[in-house]
Every structure is written in structure tokens, then in C-alpha cells.
Amino acid sequence: MLTRRRLLSSALSLASALPLMRGSSAAAVKTAAGTNRPLLRGALYWYDPSLSVDQWRDELETQRRIGFDLLWLCGTRQASEGGLTQFEELVRLCERRRVKLLVDCGSTGDWYTTLDLQNEKSVITRHVGRLAPILKDSPALFGWYVPQEIYFCSGPMQEYITGLYPFAVETCRGASPGRPVTVSPFFILDRTKTFGDFAVPSPDRYARYWEQLIRRSGFDIVMLQDSGEHFAWVTDTQRRPYFAAMRRACDGAGAKLWGNVECAEMNYSSIEDYIAVNGRVHHAGAKEPRWRPVPMPRFESKMRLAAEFCEDFVTWGYREFCRPAMGEAARDWYEAYRAYRDAPLTRRSATARDAAPRDAAR
């Protein structure tokens, strides 16, 4: 996922301390029917043009079984720069299956080091322009995602972001009026500078920063990443102030807040444990990353925390670590999440989200 691990490790010198979908409101949390269990809508996927329609169908069916109805795509420049036919086939498949698409607006691979604003704008213009004829009238299109993710910036990076974000939102909105434009920022918690010399704003400063940036940019939905630095030692107590801060920011700027509740983490019990194995290095360069699916009791706790502040929920880490095809640990997580989702609903009647496969036409 192009966010913290690459951005923070590559931008040490640069980082530092309203339309249809917009409008402040209390969180109306998506839950399992008849319960207060918050549920995921879907997961971030790097677009893979090598997958056939049959492979995508199998993947979407696996997701359907745990209630996913949103496919969040990044890396779709592989489609706009030579693979439009395959991409359109995926869009039509999603239409038949009634799966919604959240599609990235394009980016360069090294935007956070080059800070070439004009080039980034040209990439977004070209990319959105090529995908728009396929997406703009499709019932599958939920909205757009701006993949240039940050947490808190100053100096040249801030100048770049304040130039880029409004442009990206305007470009997406012009291509698909009425469809929301989203972003998925993060927060960091390391005040020991183990992972680099990064500013760690207070929750109040973080809230003020993001309220101004959301308002200036015009984002409709903010999908806050919840992990801190992806580690198993991060607690809900540490996360809570930043969720509350982003809730205030979204309310002030007129945006909706979703939770990006990550389902993968690096399995270290403490920062001292991490340093003993890897040294004082950024986790992008850890020699022993120890990735694992988040254990379900911990994941459920993370979901319930996010539900105090957020209106809907997506995740990162499912594609990489939690799909059944990834192995035993992934299968265990998948079945545990399925049990979490279905436990109160053993006698439920079928709904649109639970019905048998949606693409009857196949």
C-alpha cells in the first residue's frame, strides 16, 4: 500500500510536524441487522490487469461471503495506460454483481520525493479522462479515491498537497458529478523517533490541520487509517484521540468520516521488542516485519472504537494477508471475521448483501 511505509521512509526532509455527499452529521454506523456490530464494506486492492474475469468473479464471490460490497481499487493507471478492455470487463462484472467501485484518480510512483506538482496534475487529468467514459454512467461507480496519502505536512510538501488536493477533487468531480471523492490519511504515534525524525502533532493540532485541508480541498469522505505505525502494541486508547480529532475536522469541514480499520499488523509486543530485533529503523526497512492478520478479538475492538466516530468501514491488509488463498492464518482470519459478522444472524432471512451470487448472467 503506497502510504506510510514508503512516504515516511522517503520524505524525512519534507514531512513535519459542497456537493451531494457532503454535510456534517452524526455517525449512522453500518451494522449487522438487528445488532450493533460494525461491518466492513470492502478492502483496498491493487488493481491487477492480469486477472481474468473469472478470477475477479471468484475473488468477488469470496468477498461477498463476508459481506463486502465495495471494491476499493488503487494502481489503476495500469488500466488507463494500456489495459482499458480488461478494466471495463471488471466494471461490467461489478455492475452485474451489484458491487460498488471506489477508484483511484492516479498518481506517480514517487510523487512524495519529486513533488512535481504539474506532472502529477497531468497524470491525474489523463488518467481520469481515460477512465471516465467507462465509469461516469456506470451504476457500479461509488466514487473516486485520491491516493496521495499524508498525515501532517509543512514546507514544500504542504505547498504540494494544497496545490494537488483541490485539483484532484475538482477533476474527479468534473468527470462524475455527484459521486464522492475520498482520501485516506493516517496518523503516527512514535514520539521516540525510532522510525525517523517525524513531527507528531497533538490531536488538537491534527484536527485544525485537517479541517482546513478538507475544507480547502472539498473532500466528501475521509477514510481514516487506524493503525498508527501498523504495530500490534498500538492500543485503542492511543488511537481514540486521533479519531475524535478527525471527527471534529470532518464535522467542521462538512465531510463524512469513515474508518479504514486495518486487518493486518506487525506482531511486536512493544517498541523495545521491535528495536531488539530490527534496530532503530523505519518499519519499511525492518529485516523481520512479522506481518499477521489482526486477531479477531483485537480487530473487533478496533471496529467498535472506529464505530464511535465513523459512519462506514473499509480495510487495508485483506488482500495481502487475510484472503483464504493466502494460507492457514489468512483462512483462520477469514472464517473468524465471517463468524463475527454472522453470529447474531443464524436465522436471518436473505438480504441483498447475503443473497446467492449476484451475477446470474455470469
DSSP letters for 153-213: B-HHHHHHHHHHHHHHHHHHHHHSTT--EEE--------S-SS-S-----HHHHHHHHHHH
pLDDT > 70: percent of the chain:
85
* Mean pLDDT value across residues 278-290: 93
pLDDT at 14 over 50: no
Task: Categorize the per-residue pLDDT at 344 as very low, low, confident or very high, splitting at 50, 70 and 90.
Answer: low
| Domain spanning 4-19+39-342, CATH class | alpha beta
Task: Categorize the per-residue pLDDT at 29 as very low, low, confident or very high, splitting at 50, 70 and 90.
Answer: low
Out of 22-26, 305-309, 354-358, the most confident range is: 305-309
Q: How far is CA 187 from the centre of its chain?
A: 13
Task: Categorize the per-residue pLDDT at 16 as very low, low, confident or very high, splitting at 50, 70 and 90.
Answer: very low
* Mean pLDDT value across residues 12-33: 44
Burial group, residue 50, by CB count within 10 angstroms (0-12, 13-18, 19+): exposed
* Mean pLDDT value across residues 334-343: 94
Task: Categorize the per-residue pLDDT at 37 as very low, low, confident or very high, splitting at 50, 70 and 90.
Answer: confident
Burial group, residue 55, by CB count within 10 angstroms (0-12, 13-18, 19+): exposed
In this prediction, residue 227 carries a pLDDT of 78
In this prediction, residue 32 carries a pLDDT of 57
Distances (CA, A) of 90 to 40, 94, 177, 248, 292: 21, 6, 22, 37, 29
Write down the mean pLDDT value for the chain.
Answer: 88
In this prediction, residue 197 carries a pLDDT of 87
In this prediction, residue 4 carries a pLDDT of 46
* Mean pLDDT value across residues 46-60: 95
Q: What is the pLDDT of residues 68-127, one digit of tens each?
A: 999 999 999 999 998 899 999 999 999 999 999 999 999 998 999 999 999 999 999 999
Return d(Cα 93, Cα 99) in angstroms, integer.
Answer: 8
In this prediction, residue 288 carries a pLDDT of 96
More confident residue, 358 or 280: 280
* Mean pLDDT value across residues 189-205: 91
Q: How far is CA 273 from the centre of its chain?
A: 28
Neighbours of 295 (CB within 10 A): 15
More confident residue, 28 or 307: 307
pLDDT at 161 over 80: yes
SS3 at position 318: helix
Look up residue 356 and give its DSSP letter. S
In this prediction, residue 196 carries a pLDDT of 87
More confident residue, 353 or 4: 4
Q: Where are the domains of the chain?
A: 4-19+39-342
